[in-house]
Amino acid sequence: MNLTQELELFPDHTVTQMLFKEVKNAAELRQSAVDGRINGALINPTMLVNPFQVLVAANKAVHLQLIGKMKTRSLNSEIIFNLSPTNNISEAFKRFGTSDGDESVMLVVVHCKNESQLLEDIAAQVDGRQVPVEDVSWLSDLAKIRKVPHQCF
């Protein structure tokens, strides 16, 4: 159900993604994340089409943290910010962060390899049904995703 991947460029860091549906306590989870009681990024999975997006955002966040160039205050908020194509932090949280009424949540945790208890403790706080991360595309809201402004390079 979890998708755990070691970051190739940063082998001391591992990223675990957990996907939950039928979540009843999204507001409580969001407040816990803001207060620092959940050490993970809470992402709105309707804005994702593939778990690889999250892995890329987490990899960039870890890199920026290690070189001291993060634009946000924490690694978890940097992951959410890196999902957005714009440089507006509040806009990134509105689009890609979890809202109080959300019924599905993607939980992303950057940790060391041997911290499985940390993952269990965080997952236990979610009042919802865990589903395989690979099912995230079933939750995608393509109409909302198409409205996200994208940058041309």
Q: Domain locations in the chain?
A: 3-146
pLDDT-based confidence at 151, cuts 50/70/90? Answer: low
* Tokens 């995230």 found at: 136
pTM: 0.93
H-only helix segments in 73-132: 75-83, 89-96, 116-124
Q: What is the pLDDT of residues 11-50, one digit of tens each?
A: 999 999 999 999 999 999 999 999 989 999 999 999 999 9
For residues 29 and 23, the answer to whether their CB atoms sit within 8 Å is: yes
Q: Which residues pair with 14 in a beta bridge?
A: 6, 111
Q: What is the pLDDT of residues 79-113, one digit of tens each?
A: 999 999 999 999 999 999 999 999 999 999 999 88
Token code pair at residue 38: 């959940």
Q: Give me Rg for the CA atoms of the chain.
A: 14
| Domain spanning 3-146: CATH superfamily | CGI121/TPRKB (3.30.2380.10)
